[in-house]
Amino acid sequence: MARPKTIHIDRKKVIDETIKILEHHGLEGFNLRKLAHNLAAHPSSVYHYFDGRASILSAAAGHVLREIEVPQPNDDWQEWAVDVTMNYWKTLARRPFVIPILLAGYEPATEVRARLGAMMDGVGIDPDRQVEINRAVEACVFGFVMEYAAKGAGDARAAEVKSDQTAAMLRKILTFIFAGLPDLNAAG
């Protein structure tokens, strides 16, 4: 199908509307027809910016993941990694619709992944081991997001107390995971 000559939408609008649809209907409720309808555009207009559904979903997930606060690294890289991962959890807890996108294999490159990878490279962790570590950390984060979402239903005060407990438990687990890795200061 030929691309339209006049485009009445832009890349940001497509991403923003995709996120709205995902927030309200989940991954199962997302399709290009619905997206185009919400944008008041022809479905082919979306292809001006994206190759298809996969690239739209990847862009939307990447947009959300760029919301993660990434503090400046400090002398204790394990503590920094725990802090970054806790911020990852907080972002996904606010926008859990991203998890099925990531699990479906749409993995946008993000600053968080790049900086964690660079830190692990710096302490001599081989790339295969980094993949294992990333999987373990993501499994913890995804599981805790699901627990947080389940506890969020019902009594708001009870959910707030339980979310504090959830955050404390996740921090302990992440500290344990990262503490077992090489010390950045000793690696040089």
Q: Look at residue 2 in the predicted model and tell me its pLDDT.
A: 53
> What tens digit of pLDDT does each residue of 165-182 get?
888 999 999 999 888 776
Tokens of residue 160, six digits: 């707030």
Torsion of CA 139, 143, 148, 150, to 10 degrees: 150
Cα–Cα distance measured from residue 53 to residue 76, given in angstroms and rounded to the nearest whole number:
40
Is pLDDT above 50 for 188? no
Tokens of residue 47, six digits: 């292809």
Query: What's the residue count for the chain?
Result: 188
Average pLDDT, the chain: 83
Do 48 and 3 form a contact (C-beta atoms < 8 A)? yes
Q: Look at residue 14 in the predicted model and tell me its pLDDT.
A: 96
Is pLDDT above 70 for 185? no
pTM of structure: 0.80
**104 CB neighbour count, 10 Å cutoff:** 13
What residues contact residue 14 under an 8 Å CB cut-off, 6+ apart? 35, 39, 46, 49, 50, 56, 59
Cα–Cα distance measured from residue 52 to residue 13, given in angstroms and rounded to the nearest whole number:
16
pLDDT, greater one: 56 or 109? 56
Cα–Cα distance measured from residue 178 to residue 148, given in angstroms and rounded to the nearest whole number:
22
> What tens digit of pLDDT does each residue of 47-93 get?
888 988 999 999 999 999 988 888 887 788 889 889 999 999 989 88
Tokens of residue 145, six digits: 């997001």
Q: Look at residue 187 in the predicted model and tell me its pLDDT.
A: 45
Residue labelled with tokens 């600053």 = 111
Cα–Cα distance measured from residue 31 to residue 46, given in angstroms and rounded to the nearest whole number:
12
Cα–Cα distance measured from residue 64 to residue 34, given in angstroms and rounded to the nearest whole number:
20
Cα–Cα distance measured from residue 61 to residue 43, given in angstroms and rounded to the nearest whole number:
20
Q: Which helix (H) or strand (E) holds 43?
A: helix 43-46
Q: Look at residue 25 in the predicted model and tell me its pLDDT.
A: 93
Query: Three-state DSSP class for 76?
Result: coil
